[in-house]
Amino acid sequence: MGEAQTLAADGVRELTLLGQNVNSWGRDLPPVDRVGFGGLLRALDGVDGIDRIRFTSPHPKDMRDDVIAAMAECDAVCEHLHLPLQSGSSRILKAMRRTYDRRRYLDLVGRIRSAMPGIALTTDIIVGFPGETEDDFAETLEVVDEVGYDHAFTFVYSPRRGTEAAAMPDQVSDEVKRDRITRLVDAVQRHAAARNAALVGTVQEVLVEGPSRTDPGMLRGRTRGNKTTLFAGDAAEGDMASIRIDRATSQTLSGQQVVAAVA
């Protein structure tokens, strides 16, 4: 808390909590001090000057109801969650030694969307894990279609010497991996484009990061849903600007500043 208060006093407006399984925070604390990750979010939400809170990367097994409730109820916690999937096949998830299956993951997504209907969901997906069949990959595509991710980091499995997976039978050929990653990216991009298109005509709060990297005449920032937004306006770096979204692609939003920014 002290660190967050110091950062806020220095003008920091957005905090990102980092950890391999960040939402497991607090479980190793003595019982008298244990507040859990949901409690941490609520405490940080009370720090004056902190307007946005994000966290990455959570583990699905620790996205419990108290964390979901804190996300929905805390004004500063952004409506964005990176929720790693890895595979839509329960059989492959078990081989990966993930501690959830397809049904549990989709049930979790349902609870999250029930609490925060407009949340932006992003994920990580691996194709070509040893033993992955075409049916397994089809299950991954089904989950992508059911969830409708706003973005996904997609990876092709590659053996790493000394790991258990590298010694597994039924390694997937490079040709099959290339085919599957292409189909996966196409599916993800289709949903990302549709979700961004739904924001055209809305006004989004954007935290200004500076000028566009490709067009110095435009400004760049991110929405609470963590979507890169390019816009025309006079806001300064670090301001909160209200942006009317006029155009969208699968990767970015574009628009115009509609009211004076809040410093």
- In this structure, how many other beta carbons lie within 10 angstroms of the beta carbon of residue 64? 15
pLDDT tens digits for 143-163?
999 999 999 999 999 998 889
Where do the structural domains in the chain lie, given as residue ranges? 1-78, 79-198, 203-257
Sequence letter at residue 256: Q
Residue 32 scores a pLDDT above 60: no
Residue keyed to tokens 């566009």: 212
Say if 1-78 and 79-198 have the same CATH topology: yes
DSSP secondary-structure letter at 261?
A: P
| pLDDT (average), residues 154-182 | 94
pLDDT category at 27 given cuts 50, 70, 90 is: low
pLDDT tens digits for 220-249?
999 999 999 999 999 999 999 999 999 999
DSSP secondary-structure letter at 96?
A: T
Residue 5 scores a pLDDT above 60: yes
pLDDT tens digits for 40-82?
999 999 999 999 999 998 989 889 999 999 999 999 999 999 9
Q: Return left, alpha or beta for 38; rule: phi > 0 is left, psi -120 to 50 is alpha, else beta.
A: alpha
Residue 9 scores a pLDDT above 80: yes
3-state secondary structure of 39: helix
Q: Are 140 and 88 in contact (CB under 8 A)?
A: yes
Q: Are 123 and 149 in contact (CB under 8 A)?
A: yes
CATH of domain 203-257: 2.40.50.110
- Residue 180: the pLDDT is 98
| pLDDT (average), residues 13-24 | 88
| CATH assignment of 79-198, among 3.20.20.140, 3.40.50.720, 3.30.750.200, 3.40.50.920 | 3.30.750.200
Sequence letter at residue 151: H
Distance CA 95, CA 164 (A): 10
- In this structure, how many other beta carbons lie within 10 angstroms of the beta carbon of residue 79? 16
Sequence letter at residue 25: W
Least confident segment among 24-28, 102-106, 116-120: 24-28
- Residue 260: the pLDDT is 76
Residue 198, CA distances (Å) to 65, 76, 136 in order: 28, 23, 31
pLDDT category at 122 given cuts 50, 70, 90 is: very high
DSSP secondary-structure letter at 105?
A: H
- Residue 154: the pLDDT is 98
Among positive and negative, which fits the CA dihedral 112, 127, 23, 57? negative
Cα 97 to chain centroid, rounded:
22
Distance CA 162, CA 233 (A): 53
| pLDDT (average), residues 130-138 | 98
Residue 29 scores a pLDDT above 80: no
Distance CA 243, CA 247 (A): 11
Residue 26 scores a pLDDT above 80: no
Q: What percentage of the chain exceeds 90 in pLDDT?
A: 84
Q: Which fold has domain 1-78?
A: Transcription Regulator spoIIAA (3.30.750)
Give the DSSP per-residue string, 158-209: ---TTSTGGG-SSPPPHHHHHHHHHHHHHHHHHHHHHHHHTTTT-EEEEEEE
